[in-house]
Amino acid sequence: MHTGLESPRGVWWKPVHRSEKVWFGIAFAWCMVLFAMMPLWHWKGGQNPAGIRRKVEPAAFQARVNEFIEAYKIGEENGFPIVEPPPGSDIYLLARMWSWTPILKLRKDVEYTLHISSQDVGHGFGLYPINVNFQVVPGYDYGLRVTPNAAGDFRIICNEFCGIGHHLMLGKVIVVDDASATSTSTMKGES
């Protein structure tokens, strides 16, 4: 019987076969390529958040979000405020178990500074159907420079497991094309 205490029988101590050396060389070279990709991706990947980042007390951030909602609220949907901030302004989004507040109504092709933070645990901001992902942690205010480049209704999902209601953590962003919004309301005769 063979036990783990005895050295294995076989030919494993013989010099390494050439093909194995070649394979080892390829694997090592590939490791170095991937290693180089890390700093390269940082500079050339275009995946880094553009904007500011600073520490914030969760309560202070929540107070700022409430101020923001109060100032620019235009309606409500399922109990969530719909907020239409002035073009180009600082906008706020609060993540908590298990919701995204408020619903943002934005203009296409206008740059906003999106402040995003969590009130409790780590959440994952995921914008669907567009593949935008951002990790949201409590205690930090991320001011992301964002420019919506398509009009429509977008869902925010949470892609960081955050508890029993994780799969229910949905939010919404509405992006309107300024020109089309005006023409639609003219057609329907709305004021």
Contact indicator for 58, 119 with CB cutoff of 8 Å = yes
Sign of CA dihedral 150, 155, 161, 162: positive
**Interface with ligand CUA by CB under 6 A: which residues?**
98, 123, 158, 160-162, 166, 169
Smallest separation (angstroms) from ligand CUA to the CB of 80: 15
Angstrom CA distances, 66 to 41, 51, 94, 183, stand at 37, 22, 10, 32
Q: Distance between CA atoms of 130 and 114, rounded to whole angstroms?
A: 17
Smallest separation (angstroms) from ligand CUA to the CB of 166: 4
Amino acid at 98: W
**CA proximity to 146, closest of 85, 61, 99:** 85
Looking at beta carbons only, is 89 or 135 nearer to ligand CUA?
Answer: 135
Looking at beta carbons only, is 56 or 137 nearer to ligand CUA?
Answer: 137
Q: Distance between CA atoms of 73 and 58, rounded to whole angstroms?
A: 22
Looking at beta carbons only, is 104 or 151 nearer to ligand CUA?
Answer: 104
Looking at beta carbons only, is 155 or 166 nearer to ligand CUA?
Answer: 166
Smallest separation (angstroms) from ligand CUA to the CB of 65: 16
Smallest separation (angstroms) from ligand CUA to the CB of 33: 34
Smallest separation (angstroms) from ligand CUA to the CB of 188: 37
Looking at beta carbons only, is 80 or 98 nearer to ligand CUA?
Answer: 98
